[in-house]
Chain A
Amino acid sequence: MLTGYIPIAILLILSVGLGVLVIVLGGLFGPKRPSKRKSAAYESGMQPIGPGTRRLPVRFYMVAVLFILFDIEVLFFLPWAVAFRDLGLYGLIAMIVFNIPIIVGFIYEWKKGALEWE
């Protein structure tokens, strides 16, 4: 019964292995020029130490929201692509319908200036 899970186990090992490999290779061969700023807990984003109620730049969160938008899209695209032939035209139309609100949300963010850094 458990043999059905072997592909998942292989995928798990492969993905963990690839992640470890990339980090190790980067550590071995990448250039190292540490500076104070780079060694901070978050190289980008807000300083981790200080009062909790001060104003902070919201840009990174905008990027995070954009990321979630497309992340969800990809999350849905992948299983759809696997079952594309079985789902046929219905699946295609359903996917288009699913995309419309996402595109609307994206246009909204764009027009609101979420893609402009300064």
Chain B
Amino acid sequence: MIEFNPLDLLNTLPILVLVSWACALLMVNVFVPRQGKGLMVLLTALGLAVTLILSIFQAGTQTEAFKGMLAIDDFTVYMNVFILASSLVALAISHDYMQRMGLARGEYYVLMLFSVAGMMLMASAADLIVVFLALELLSIPLYVLSAFARPQVESEEAGLKYFLLGAFASGFLVYGIALVYGATGQTNLIQIFAAAEAGVETPAFLLVGAGLILVGLGFKVAAAPFHMWTPDVYQGAPTTVTAFMAVGAKAGGFAALLRVFIAAFPAISVDLAPVLAAVAAATLVIGNVVAVAQSNIKRLFAYSSISHAGFILMAFVAFGQDGLFEDTIASVLFYLVTFAIASFGSWAIVIMLERKEGRGLDLQDYAGLGRKYPALALAMAVFMFSFTGVPPTLGFAAKLFVFRVVIEGGYYWLAIVGVVTSVVSAYYYLRLIIIMYMQDGDPQVRGETWLNLATAATAVATVLLFFFSTPLFEWAAEAGFLWF
């Protein structure tokens, strides 16, 4: 006889509301004839906003739900608020683009909501089975969304490629979960922690299992050498989907990585930390060096997003060290927010310049932007400076906090790799600024209220929040797990 705890429903209310809302919207989509163009957008925004408010009300909760399957703690609330706010921005920059490209179908919003629910579940997963479930819920809508510009060949290719490689990566994750279960007899993170502390009979299984879990989640966050899908998928998918995916899937993946590694695997951190450091270094080098050769803006940002995954992964080297893992969590969360703000801003500008059939996506299409649209060029420059890590932008503070964790964790060589690749990244970010300001051209921009608003808000936030980076970091540092 299974006992039912009604409190579980209350504690998971945000996810439950969001999933029910998505189901209801699917019905609205097929049953309401001749819906106005804005109806689905409005309802989606409403659902996200209600969920956001419910999530904020959960602040301070420290509990488990469904017999330890889910953890509702400060970390969950922080991630949920971040994910929901990001989705609202993604929605704001989507509407006009979908109409303009002839992609305005209601399923877009429903799939987005399901994916958001997966990301939220990922942030509160306290059991490897839930991690897998959340990963699939996050990914499958994204596979479909990548192919949303059907029958465009690039979009179909992106969807199929993402699906095949994603399914492959899920296989690695499940294999890793199976091996960890085989070694410890547990799938619950905190019980794996206890079993690993007490010592397991076959430590090799545990290590290989942890490694395979790293492969599965590393794929989602686009860490090298599991990044091969990123440029093609980012380029082929509709640009709004790319923006949503670049932030959302990364946030979900890193949330799960933080939760799994810090909660379950501190006992084997001596062996895992060097692996994470190597993956981070490879990601940084590949992302930044290959980005230099790109001439398509979507591919450029794809490699840039790979390199930022590398910067975030750098912080993981200290995950098993007492007194430092809190800083790991805080710096990862801070970097994610920084990346999200600059990323949404720059993608919004890309959306403004994009025209049908993939035109307007070349770096040369940005020539003359500084003269014709000075405000837009200034915003883009701010985002590029933030990506590079130049003060006074939020990106500088984020990199500073990550480097601090890496150095305190004793990985000086990794910090040096990070600094050197940062300098390399300055080349291609500054090149875009030079093209915008120093070259002549006649860029065609389509402005729209929500796109303009999103760009302005993110640009202002990038600069303004820099002056509040210390309180923001301390705020992120409070987003700990309920177990420690």
Which residues of A are at the interface with B, using a C-beta cutoff of 8 A? 86-88, 90-91, 100-101, 104-105, 107-108, 111-112
Q: List 26 A-B contacts (CB under 8 A).
A: A86-B1, A87-B1, A87-B2, A88-B1, A88-B2, A90-B1, A90-B2, A90-B3, A90-B4, A91-B2, A100-B23, A101-B19, A101-B23, A104-B23, A104-B26, A104-B27, A105-B26, A107-B27, A107-B30, A108-B26, A108-B27, A108-B29, A108-B30, A111-B30, A111-B31, A112-B30
Chain B interface mostly = helix
- B27: chain A residues within 8 A (beta carbon): 104, 107-108
- B3: chain A residues within 8 A (beta carbon): 90
Bound: A105/B23 CA distance, A? 8
Residues of chain B from 19 to 59 with CB closer than 8 A to chain A in the complex: 19, 23, 26-27, 29-31
A109 and chain B: residue at smallest CB distance = B30
- A107: chain B residues within 8 A (beta carbon): 27, 30
Q: Chain B CB within 10 Å — which of A86, A87, A105, A107 has the most?
A: A107
Which residues of B are at the interface with A, using a C-beta cutoff of 8 A? 1-4, 19, 23, 26-27, 29-31
- A88: chain B residues within 8 A (beta carbon): 1-2
Bound: A104/B29 CA distance, A? 12
Q: Considering the complex of A and B, which 9 residue pairs feature the smallest CB-CB distances, nearest first?
A: A111-B30, A104-B23, A90-B2, A90-B4, A108-B26, A108-B30, A104-B26, A101-B23, A88-B1
Bound: A91/B1 CA distance, A? 9
8 other contacts beyond A86-B1, A88-B1, A108-B29, with CB at 8 A cut-off?
A101-B23, A105-B26, A107-B30, A108-B27, A108-B30, A111-B30, A111-B31, A112-B30
Bound: A87/B4 CA distance, A? 11
Q: Chain A CB within 10 Å — which of B3, B4, B19 has the most?
A: B4
Bound: A107/B23 CA distance, A? 11
Q: How far is the CB of B392 from chain A (nearest CB, A)?
A: 48
Bound: A101/B20 CA distance, A? 9
Bound: A67/B168 CA distance, A? 23
Q: Chain A CB within 10 Å — which of B19, B26, B31 has the most?
A: B26
A103 and chain B: residue at smallest CB distance = B23
B19 and chain A: residue at smallest CB distance = A101
Q: How far is the CB of A108 from chain B (nearest CB, A)?
A: 5
- A112: chain B residues within 8 A (beta carbon): 30
Bound: A112/B107 CA distance, A? 12
Q: Chain B CB within 10 Å — which of A86, A91, A111 has the most?
A: A111
- B19: chain A residues within 8 A (beta carbon): 101
- A86: chain B residues within 8 A (beta carbon): 1
Q: How far is the CB of A22 from chain B (nearest CB, A)?
A: 33
- B30: chain A residues within 8 A (beta carbon): 107-108, 111-112
Q: Chain A CB within 10 Å — which of B3, B29, B30, B31 has the most?
A: B30
B2 and chain A: residue at smallest CB distance = A90
Q: How far is the CB of A18 from chain B (nearest CB, A)?
A: 31
Bound: A107/B4 CA distance, A? 30
Bound: A58/B26 CA distance, A? 22
- B2: chain A residues within 8 A (beta carbon): 87-88, 90-91
Q: How far is the CB of B137 from chain A (nearest CB, A)?
A: 11
Bound: A86/B19 CA distance, A? 28
- A90: chain B residues within 8 A (beta carbon): 1-4
A53 and chain B: residue at smallest CB distance = B153
Q: Chain B CB within 10 Å — which of A86, A88, A91, A101 has the most?
A: A101
